[in-house]
Amino acid sequence: MGMKLYRPTTPGRRSAGVLDYAELTRTSPEKALTKAIRKTAGRNNQGHITSRFRGGGHHRIYRKIDFKRDKDNVSAKVLEIEYDPNRTCNIALIQYADGEKRYILAPEGIKQGRSVVSGEKVEPEIGNAMPLENIPLGLQVHNVELCPGQGGRMARSAGMCAILLSREGEHAHLQLPSGEIRMVNCRCRATIGQIGNADHSNIRIGKAGRKRHMGRRPHVRGTAMNPVSHPHGGGEGRTKGGRHPCSPTGVPAKGGKTRQRRKPSSRFILRRRRT
């Protein structure tokens, strides 16, 4: 998928760049595989803001994605490649031999008319899903499960893939897109190939209005607020706050640990993404 650039008729258009969506074959979703989304605008059930700078945005319809790929040994044909407003990658509408339709994440190189299948022992071709214990070493995989039967959790965004490095006992060693090397149960399923729409990282928003369409409201700096609103607020003239960067509630914003120190899954991480 290529990029589309605009003529610099305005300052916003000058720096904007969008995808051309050339590989999409359909504009409207399969109605039976959708459901409505209720927006919260960052408020909780009491109406208090718990996530700042959110609200508005274009209405979205959620597409139900088959992350489990648990319909084994039944061939499915790719009918359409569609856009999904709820994720960075595109999705593929597939139809099984018995007539059932499902959405899956569209890998790089998938096209209309291709056949995909999932199962314990299937051919390691792009779009096929199988357990890690049966996937040849060195292949790129995506939509990887963390627990058997749970459904894909890792390597699901545009252009992402994990690399199957080795197997040791009942665990497989995966190199994740972040550089982290992690042990995953060999019975966990993954889909062969790399997620498509890798050019998504080249999108340039260009103007503030497109952020409002995404449901993002203006982000206000803490130093521009009053002292009652933020620890960085107030002061005569422009100041840096006089303290280390923090959130409105005083939680350190830079350099602090974000992962719990004693998390049970830490023993499965062989190399962290940050040394």
CATH number for 87: 2.40.50.140
Q: According to the model, what pLDDT value does residue 275 have?
A: 65
For 101-143, the pLDDT digits (tens) are 999 999 999 999 999 999 998 999 999 999 999 999 999 999 9
Q: Is residue 270 part of a domain?
A: no
Question: What total of structural domains would you count in the chain?
Answer: 1
The helix (run of H) or strand (run of E) holding residue 213 is: helix 208-213
Q: Is residue 248 part of a domain?
A: no
Among candidates 220, 89, 249, 98, which has minimal Cα distance to 160?
A: 89
CB 29 within 8 A of CB 90: no
Residue 123's domain spans which residues?
A: 3-201
User: Does 238 have pLDDT greater than 70?
Assistant: yes
Q: Is residue 247 part of a domain?
A: no
Q: Is residue 257 part of a domain?
A: no
Q: Is residue 58 part of a domain?
A: yes
Q: Is residue 240 part of a domain?
A: no
* Tokens 């060693």 found at: 173
Q: According to the model, what pLDDT value does residue 154 have?
A: 94
Phi, psi (rounded to 5 degrees) for 200: -60, -30
Model confidence band, residue 64 (pLDDT cutoffs 50, 70, 90):
very high
User: Does 150 have pLDDT greater than 70?
Assistant: yes
For 202-220, the pLDDT digits (tens) are 999 999 999 999 999 999 9
User: Does 258 have pLDDT greater than 90?
Assistant: no
Tell me the C-alpha to C-alpha distance, in Å, between residue 42 and each of 216, 223, 258, 275.
10, 22, 21, 34
Q: According to the model, what pLDDT value does residue 237 have?
A: 86
Q: Is residue 239 part of a domain?
A: no
Q: Is residue 220 part of a domain?
A: no
Q: Structure pTM?
A: 0.88
Counting Cα atoms < 13 Å in the Cβ hemisphere of 236 gives: 0
Q: According to the model, what pLDDT value does residue 273 have?
A: 85
Lookup: tokens for 237 = 């003239």
